[in-house]
Amino acid sequence: MDELPQRIRSQRARARAVRGYVEKQLWTELDQHIAAVRAQASSPGPLDSPGPAAPAGLAGPAAPAGLAGPVASAGSAGSAAPAGSAGLEELETLVRTADELRACEEQNLWMGDRARVGIHRALGRLRRCASSAALLERVPPELTRACGFARAMISRVHHSEWIPILPPPGADPDTDAFRRAFGDEPTLPLRHMLLETEMVRRRIGILVADAAGDPRCHEAFVTIAGARGYVGAPLMPSGRVIGFLHADRRGQDHPVTQDDLDNIVLFAEHVGLLYERAVFAEELQHRRARLQAAQLALARDLDAVSDAELRLQLPPTPEDDPEEEEEDHRDSTPPPGRIALLSTREREVLDLIVAGETNSGIARELVLGEQTVKTHVAHVLRKLGATSRAEAAARYLRMRGR
């Protein structure tokens, strides 16, 4: 009955080599093994014959502190049965099994601590990325480095489309195969009963133990990427899913586990916040640049107004412009001198009024507050002697000969 601890010890060594976790299923097997050994030690048979007392080194005090329950039970089972040579053998097997169970738990705790430290350091490096695009490019390698995965992929979600973000051609054979199958800018539909659709709908991570046997897996992972099992997590900085992270352990001869899922979910949560922060910083920088340009233009306008030469001009008479007299535009056409009263900003506002923009549209275009736009519009109407935006636009066009 010593084969199970030896087999799990071998698997534990392989997990440690690839920075993976011991599967919880193996812990269950060890627990069942302990129960079987206890049952065998307690059953009537040759073990009931009297024999010498068990050595103190194999009794309860030798039990690991973290597993007092199983080992204490083993000690009580050994003491209940007369400790002959067979009883000692069963007790030794029980102690070795309990030691292996404790070793599995300690290894997973150590791997978890190591992964969290790696995630913390990876996020620190991502925080220093110069742009949101650079951050997205660095996420997959940082995820594999931090958590020990073999491969990782980031993708974005737009409405009902799932769009993987691929590195440049030649950077990775797997993504090159993906590109050959789906194009340089692949767009995959988020169909019903697809695991990624569940990530969007339920906003949870996914763990796929057998990709080939799970009909909810997208064919891209099975036929193109060749994934046996993988984990995924949604990117949702503001509560809405904007993308995914996927990772697997292909080539490591080790499955993904619940601990791997916990790690990628933690990583995705912080990456989403970092991406949101980077996008907001870029937008703020862009708007600051536009505002500075607008302020500079306004300063030039003020200088031009202060330095402009004021001229007295009279409006044209009907005799000078027969066409105007015939069309009876004497009251609707502003004197040419009025155009000089418009500032550069007011002319920009008027040009946008002529183009049919609303106040909010003008505010977005000129990077102004909507109340400021309303003030400019009022000034334009007053200076042109118009009572509405349409009349101001018509007068302005006639004044410019359009």
Phi, psi of 161 (to 5 degrees): -115, 140
Which of 51-55, 163-167, 245-249 is the most confident on average?
A: 245-249
Burial of 160 (0-12, 13-18, 19+ CB in 10 A): exposed
Question: When comparing pLDDT for 213 and 69, which is higher?
Answer: 213
- Three-state SS across the chain? CCHHHHHHHHHHHHHHHCCCCCCHHHHHHHHHHHHHHHHHHHCCCHHHCCCCCCCHHHCHHHCCHHHHHHHHHHHHHHHHCCCCHHHHHHHHHHHHHHHHHHHHHHHHHHHHHHHHHHHHHHHHHHHCCCCHHHHHHHHHHHHHHHHCCCEEEEEEEECCEEEECCCCCCCCHHHHHHHHHHCCCCCEECCCCCHHHHHHHHCCCEEECCCCCCCCCCHHHHHHCCCCCEEEEEECCCCCCCEEEEEECCCCCCCCCHHHHHHHHHHHHHHHHHHHHHHHHHHHHHHHHHHHHHHHHHHHHHHHHHHCCCCCCCCCCCCCCHHHHHCCCCCCCCCHHHHHHCCHHHHHHHHHHHCCCCHHHHHHHHCCCHHHHHHHHHHHHHHHCCCCHHHHHHHHHHHCCC
Burial of 254 (0-12, 13-18, 19+ CB in 10 A): buried
Q: CB pairs under 8 A, 24+ apart, for 173-176? A: 174/225, 174/226
As a whole number of angstroms, the distance between CA 331 and CA 66 comes to: 97
- Which numeric CATH code is attached to 132-280? 3.30.450.40
The pTM score is 0.64
As a whole number of angstroms, the distance between CA 34 and CA 97 comes to: 7
> Is residue 111 over pLDDT 70?
yes
Q: What is the mean pLDDT of residues 346-356?
A: 88
pLDDT in tens, 304-321: 777 666 666 655 555 554
CATH 3.40.50.2300 given to domain 309-399: no
Tokens describing residue 256: 């993904």
As a whole number of angstroms, the distance between CA 334 and CA 198 comes to: 64
Distance of CA 375 to the CA centre of its chain: 43
Q: Count the Cβ atoms, other than its own, within 10 Å of residue 279.
A: 14
CB 150 within 8 A of CB 250: yes
pLDDT in tens, 57-99: 333 333 343 333 443 444 433 444 444 555 677 788 788 888 8
Distance of CA 352 to the CA centre of its chain: 39
Q: What is the mean pLDDT of residues 188-200?
A: 87
The CATH 1.10.10.10 portion of the chain extends over 309-399
Q: Count the Cβ atoms, other than its own, within 10 Å of residue 290.
A: 12
Short-list 23, 15, 18, 17, CA closest to 257? 23
> Is residue 107 over pLDDT 90?
yes
Rg, the chain, Cα only: 38
- 162 HSE (CA, 13 A, CB side): 22
The CATH 3.30.450.40 portion of the chain extends over 132-280
Residue 354: pLDDT band by 50, 70, 90 thresholds? Answer: confident
Phi, psi of 310 (to 5 degrees): -80, 130
As a whole number of angstroms, the distance between CA 90 and CA 84 comes to: 10
pLDDT in tens, 281-307: 999 999 999 899 888 888 887 777 776
Q: Which pLDDT belongs to residue 124?
A: 96
Provide CB contacts within 8 A for 346, sequence distance 6+.
376, 379, 380, 383
